[in-house]
């Protein structure tokens, strides 16, 4: 092998190694950025606070005949825990199963504008929430139906239809 060929091979090898090191540094920097973003996202407790407020408001909306507001609260209650898909994926799976299972009859009652059915299913969900909290080690968090809505600046008596919620 000629000296020229050896030099070219050494240069190519050094170039390849330096590119690999740069790529590894870029990958490590990208992972650090991803970890920082995950660290800044709310875990479960903060979004769950929004879930609780929307759940309480939903009751007063249904009671007042504001079915669109009840449907709106349900829709955004579900979406409030989206950060947990990334930060707490196992807990998010439990939330998703709860919403699609235990909570589904509440959503069905909202869509049917069935206040009696809604009240029955709402009470069952309160029990389910408390069972879930206990099962996850948070038995000290006991949900009760509030005497007043969480957001007092909303008129819960506006007559509306569940389908009035924009997509």
* pLDDT at res. 23: 60
- Residue 128 has which token pair? 């389910």
Q: Look-up: residue for tokens 């030099």?
A: 7
State the Cα–Cα distance between residues 99 and 114, nearest whole angstrom.
19
**80 CB neighbour count, 10 Å cutoff:** 21
Angle at the Cα of 38 from the Cα atoms of 37 and 44, rounded to 5 degrees: 135
- CA distances 45 to 21, 82, 141, Å, are 40, 12, 11
* pLDDT at res. 117: 98
State the Cα–Cα distance between residues 48 and 52, nearest whole angstrom.
6
* pLDDT at res. 33: 86
Instruction: Give 21's Cβ-side CA count (13 Å radius).
Output: 6
Q: pLDDT truncated to tens, each residue of the chain (167 aa)?
A: 566 555 665 555 556 655 565 566 687 888 888 888 878 887 888 899 999 999 999 999 999 999 999 999 999 999 998 888 888 888 899 999 999 999 999 999 999 999 999 999 999 999 999 999 999 899 999 999 999 999 999 999 999 999 999 98
Cβ-based burial of 4 (10 A; exposed 0-12, middle 13-18, buried ≥19): exposed
State the Cα–Cα distance between residues 85 and 147, nearest whole angstrom.
32
Give residue 59's Cα distance to chain centre.
20
């Amino acid at each position: 092998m000629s000296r020229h060929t050896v030099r070219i091979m050494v240069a190519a090898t050094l170039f390849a190694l330096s590119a690999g090191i740069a790529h590894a540094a870029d990958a490590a920097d990208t992972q650090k950025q991803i970890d920082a973003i995950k660290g800044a996202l709310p875990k479960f407790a903060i979004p769950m606070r929004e879930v609780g407020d929307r759940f309480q408001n939903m009751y007063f909306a249904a009671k007042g005949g504001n079915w669109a507001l009840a449907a709106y609260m349900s829709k955004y209650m579900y979406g409030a825990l989206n950060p947990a898909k990334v930060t707490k994926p196992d807990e998010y799976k439990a939330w998703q199963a709860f919403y699609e299972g235990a909570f589904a009859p509440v959503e069905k009652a909202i869509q049917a504008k069935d206040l009696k059915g809604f009240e029955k299913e709402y009470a069952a969900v309160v029990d389910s929430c408390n069972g879930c909290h206990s099962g996850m080690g948070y038995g000290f968090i006991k949900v009760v139906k509030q005497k007043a809505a969480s957001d007092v600046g909303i008129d819960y008596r506006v007559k509306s239809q569940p389908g009035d919620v924009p997509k």
